Structure 1
Amino acid sequence: MDSFEDAFKALIGNEGGYCFNPADPGGETMLGVTARVARNAGYTGAMKDLPLDTARQIAKQKHWDPLHLDELDPRVAFQILDANYNGGLVALWIQKASGAKKDGKFGSDTLDAVKSADPMKFVTRFAAYRLRYLRNLHTWPNFSRGWTARMADNLLLGAA
């Protein structure tokens, strides 16, 4: 995995297609993009028709570029992209995994800490914090199998 495009392909492999599960607080989604996010990005069509290019644009502009993921080890960048796209306390997990000051705000000090962290240690720690978060969500019973499979796949990618 060497670029945003590689990371995006792996991300979409985690997401799948159209879903409107009443147990999912995110509501209607396509390719992991919620209707709210799609509308905020200017998409006005039916969610089941959301183009892959729109999902790619959202991933790049909203979840990749703001965290300067092009500057990081690709294994680390993918883990962060996947979590940021999927939701959670990403800045805090980044800080905990890298040893940066834990304030939940992503800035230059956090970016520097990630850059200097051992990539494999970072990936392992980041995944652990993310999994703990997922396990504590009230929706865990409904989605645990999928989230566990996603995290296992991500760890395998991180170890490649």
Structure 2
Amino acid sequence: MDRNFARALALVLKSEGGWSDNPADPGGATMRGVTLANFRRYVKAGATKADLKKISDAELATIYRRFYWNAVAGAELPDGIDYAVFDFAVNSGPGRAAKYLQAVVGAAQDGRIGPATLKAISARPPGTVIDELCDARLAFLKRLPSWPAFGRGWFDRLSSVRPQALLMSPVRPETAPSQDPPLLASPAAPGAAPAAAPPAVPVTPVVRHPLWRALFAILKAIFGRKPA
């Protein structure tokens, strides 16, 4: 949802950090997640690294909204899914993020999130979509040649994205069927009026709050991580 852009952007920027110019990073010089190549493409042609270091908050917000959030239809995606897809887009490209989302929900993988994809998303529980998307994203990252150099950071990032996205996702109540066997009525005495039917007992819906899923994901990330 578009109301989540500011929150999602703040989380993305926290993951991206500040200045980076690691020779092993194929993205090259980067400031708060914006590469020098993209800064030259979207803001200032011929910009230097010094220019990139001085990127303003307004320029950052414009780049992230126009070329990542809008590119994955963030304003149309359900709460939580919007952030998970947005972060994926920033980290690995909007087209790839869209295709992986489409694969998760069973839509045509054309890299463009439109009505058909949104309909497929709406048919799945948001928490399930988030979990499966994060799993698929992690599997993709592990296949990259640069995983040995950057894998720990990517893993930590995804370990933060998953619970945050689950916390943002809506609660979808599920009605639990009754486990009690049906009551058999005693036979009425001859000539007696039929007994009134017992009042219906309302079934209390069991609500599975994403908070528990998020806490489980955090604990799994902390205690399930293999030592380096």
The structure having more radius of gyration, on CA atoms, is 2
Q: What TM-score comes out, normalization by structure 1 length? A: 0.92
Structure 1 residue 105 displacement after superposition: 4.1
- Match of 1:134, as an amino acid? L
For residues 104 and 70 of structure 1, the distance between their equivalents in structure 2, rounded to whole angstroms, comes to 16
Listed as ranges, the gaps of 5+ residues in structure 1 are: none
Equivalent pair of 2:73/2:113 in contact (CA under 8 Å): no
Compute the displacement of 1:19 (Å): 0.3
Where does structure 2 lack aligned partners over 5 or more consecutive residues?
Answer: 168-228
Runs of 4+ in 1 over 6 A off after TM superposition: none
> Residue 50 in 1 paired to residue 51 in 2?
no
Matched, 1:121 2:128: yes
Task: Give percent identity, aligned residues only.
Answer: 31
Give 1:66's aligned residue.
71
Which residue of 1 is the match for residue 37 of structure 2? 36
Corresponding residue for residue 87 of structure 2: 82
Matched, 1:10 2:11: yes
Which of residues 137, 141, 148 in structure 2 aligns to 1:134? 141
Partner of 1:152: 159
Task: Count how many residue pairs are aligned between Structure 1 and Structure 2.
Answer: 160
CA distance in 2, matches of 1:116, 1:54: 36
Q: In 1, Cα distance between the equivalents of 2:55 and 2:103? A: 35
Give the RMSD, CA atoms, in angstroms: 1.7
2:155 partner letter = T
Seen in structure 2, the aligned counterparts of structure 1 residues 72 and 18 have a Cα distance that, compared at 3 Å, is: same
Which has the larger helix fraction?
A: 1
Question: Relative to structure 1, is the Cα distance of residues 68 and 61 closer, same or farther in structure 2, using a 3 angstrom cutoff?
Answer: same
Structure 1 distance, partners of 2:6, 2:112, is 26
